[in-house]
Amino acid sequence: MIEVVQAFDRKPIADIESDDAAALERKLVTARRLFRDRTAWIPVHERMAILERLAALMAAERDALGMQIAREGGKPLTDALVETDRAIDGVRNGVDVLRTKAGREIPMGLTRASDARRAFTIVEPIGVVAAISAFNHPLNLVVHQIVPAIVAGCPVIIKPAGPTPLSCLRFAELVREAGLPDGWCQTFVPESTDLAERLVTDPRVAFLSFIGSARVGWYLRSKLAPGARCALEHGGVAPAIIDRSADLDKIVEPLVKGGYYHAGQVCVSTQRIYVHADLADAFTERFAARVAQLKVGDPTLAETEVGPLITPKEAARVQSWIAEAVAGGARQLGGGSLSETTLKPSVLVEPPRHAKVSTLEVFGPLTCIYAYKDIDEAIESANSLPVAFQASVFTENLRVALDAAERLDASAVMINDHTAFRTDWMPFAGRRESGYGIGGIPWTVDEMTEEKMIVFKS
């Protein structure tokens, strides 16, 4: 049995049955059998109907799903309900993808050797999908892994994050209630990471969808069976650049949201803020004052804006990184702890460039402010790490916006918005150590399918 506790106060929520090696083998046998039997493949119109019913079922229990996210994951209820709404819309997005997903014609007759032929492609599922999910969006992330598999026609086995399995388990139940036949979406909740690795590396798995740390993701990729493909979503140390022309009245609120949403436990959370020296003092004063106003505490209360970290261990780690930066000369504004899991938001001014808070993903309620004199210096600093995901530029100058957007090492650059902006249908991908492959529901469907060409000679 696995005990699930509330992130905020560590009180037990539920005990759930764990899966052993025999259960894993049964799930893999089932998934492989379904994929190999083309007569068992679910027609497109049935997949569309299943997803439409699923969205309706989720909408009917929206409030309960949001509260479950708040309890097991610690996300403030207001944000947890937003996550639920996004998850419902993500299911509907899967229907939209099914309406347009198709093969294409390949031109023939371009040479004498290719004359008298017509060629086209059809889209086929890649095979069994193994999905490893993360705790910070326990419902929406599994939607981003399970729904594309249903759209693509792939059997999927998903392992939720250890601290937050309940949202995933309930979603899988709803998928079955919506009419997905048995075996096409299976959950896997082992007590040990060894079994999770065995799932990923099994030769019957054709595709790995992984959301989590870079260390684990790249390790698992190195262990995949020959021919297996993967998509890895890791994290970053997201930079935001504030140009001299930026309007301080417009930028404080989005930067506070980008830095402290879900207590900073977001892979594109705004962490490094580079502000022009002419604005540095005024921005820091306004920003720190707004951060100090954030309501911190029980995530199940509607007024809470910042909840706990996922475990006491993570809270202690963030505190130690802050202490290291302060010992190295950083000025700390705010901070402190409310409980073993809940930290008050902190702002660090001019931490050392080699400190952990400047070079590694904090995944906590902390942002760092650095002053610069020339934007080239800010861009160079923003691009100085081996991670690259999303970035931001705040400016009223179009030339600066376009120039910085092109020069920043990022998969997406937001102009006058925080680094954590995302829609569920846009491409979402880390570069270099931050990830591999492309997320976002339509893009993940592409990752989980293959094109087969058919050539007719007449």
Q: Look up tokens 């970035």; give the residue.
A: 391
- 83, 233, 305, 314: which one is catalytic? 233
Residue 41 has φ and ψ, to the nearest 5°, of -60, 140
What tokens were used for 146?
A: 């399970």
Burial 108-133 (b: 16+ CB within 10 A, else e): beeeeeeeeeebbeebbbbbbbbbbb
- 168, 267, 305, 368: which one is catalytic? 267
- The reply to whether 267 belongs to the active site is yes
Pair type for strands 390-394 and 238-242: parallel
Question: Which residue pairs from 227-231 have beta carbons closer than 8 angstroms and sit at least 24 positions apart in sequence?
Answer: 228/203, 229/126, 229/437, 229/447, 230/436, 230/437, 231/207, 231/435, 231/436, 231/437, 231/438, 231/439, 231/444, 231/447
What tokens were used for 285?
A: 């004063």
- The reply to whether 230 belongs to the active site is no
CB of 283 closer than 8 Å to CB of 60: no
Active site residues: 233, 267
